[in-house]
Structure 1
Amino acid sequence: MPIESRAVYFEKPGHENTERTLQLANARADELAVKTVVVASGSGATGAKAAEIFKGKNIVVVAGAVGYQEPNTHRMKEEHRSVIEGSGGKVLFAGHAFGMMGRAVNRKFGAIQIDELIAHVLRIFCQGVKVGCEISCMAA
């Protein structure tokens, strides 16, 4: 039995597509009875919007590593974090699954590690596929 799926393409990239993308993803999650959704969101803006749109689902917002830009700090705005957690969502601060230690070894010794190889292969499809796989590993 064939399975059909609809594809939506936007004329231009950008944050103006975020809300519609989340709405489409929520509709598809409903069709497939998906109960848990993982979203990447550094500042928390996408995570807060996702928390509103994915009401009733378990939402995990992956925000990246604490200390990435400055020691003991993160990029997520507190007002966005409050919306996410206030709606029952979870926020995860973690190092990138396809980076960190492997990248450090590469920089020090010039030897590519398996996590970087995986990231490069996934980027062949597109950056979004790589990010989706990576944040799912981080949230697992």
Structure 2
Amino acid sequence: MFKVSKTYYFDKPGVVNTELAITFAVDRAVEACIDTIIVPTETGRSAFILNKIAKERGFSGELIAVRYHTGFENLNEQFMSEDDYDNLLKLGFKIHTGTHLFSSISRSFRLKWEGVFMPEIVGETLKIVSTGFKTAIEVAVMAANAGLIKDITKDVISMGGTSSGIDTAIVLRAAYQNNFLDYIKIRELICKPRDY
């Protein structure tokens, strides 16, 4: 047996693809009866776009937003405003703020003393497909770690992008960080940039 599903390829990476990539992801969720969509978001912009498109396309499942950890660029600062955070909660989003899976504390050692560490090697390897592919896997595991994915044995849709916005979407079965190698399953590639 086999299954046929469409994969869309963008000519270029980046924020210009956000609305179309999210539309492809939501349509796939509706078509396949997938009830969870995960979006990374710095400021909330991609999450608000996801909310709008999900309503327009009849998606009624769970929306999860994963945002940068506080202090990512400047001490005590969060990219997302408190107003946008509160508004996303009012829209029904589950929101996770946490350490990036593929850098974690090793980023601190790399920035101070240079060198490369295993989480970053895994992340850089996943970027061979696209930067957004790495991010989509990363935020799915972060959401699972936070207990925001009800059942990691079921398909979810997760997205990522290049620098900002969304240009990659996948169907996957998530994992927790401690069983990443045993449970993570990339089931379908919905869209990605051809050049990245």
TM-score, normalised via structure 2 length:
0.64
Match of 2:72 among 68, 71, 84: 68
- For residues 135 and 94 of structure 1, the distance between their equivalents in structure 2, rounded to whole angstroms, comes to 10
- Equivalent pair of 1:64/1:93 in contact (CA under 8 Å): yes
- Aligned CA RMSD, in angstroms, stands at 2.0
What residue in structure 2 maps to residue 30 of structure 1? 30
Change (3 A) 1:127 1:13: closer
The answer to which of 87-96 and 14-23 deviates more is 14-23
- For residues 75 and 116 of structure 1, the distance between their equivalents in structure 2, rounded to whole angstroms, comes to 22
- For residues 96 and 75 of structure 1, the distance between their equivalents in structure 2, rounded to whole angstroms, comes to 15
The answer to which of 99-108 and 25-34 deviates more is 99-108
What residue in structure 1 maps to residue 94 of structure 2? 90
Does residue 80 in structure 1 map to residue 99 in structure 2?
A: no
TM-score, normalised via structure 1 length:
0.86
Unaligned runs of 5+ in 2: 145-196
Change (3 A) 1:35 1:45: same
Q: Deviations over 1:20-50 (max 9, x none)?
A: 2111111101122111111011011001111
- Which structure has greater strand proportion? 2
- For residues 109 and 132 of structure 2, the distance between their equivalents in structure 1, rounded to whole angstroms, comes to 25
How many pairs does the alignment contain? 140
What residue in structure 2 maps to residue 59 of structure 1? 63
Unaligned runs of 5+ in 1: none
Q: Deviations over 1:59-113 (max 9, x none)?
A: 1111111111222221113453344212110221112111031223344555532
The answer to which of 59-68 and 9-18 deviates more is 9-18
What residue in structure 2 maps to residue 6 of structure 1? 6
- Equivalent pair of 1:47/1:80 in contact (CA under 8 Å): no
SS in 1 for 2:37: strand
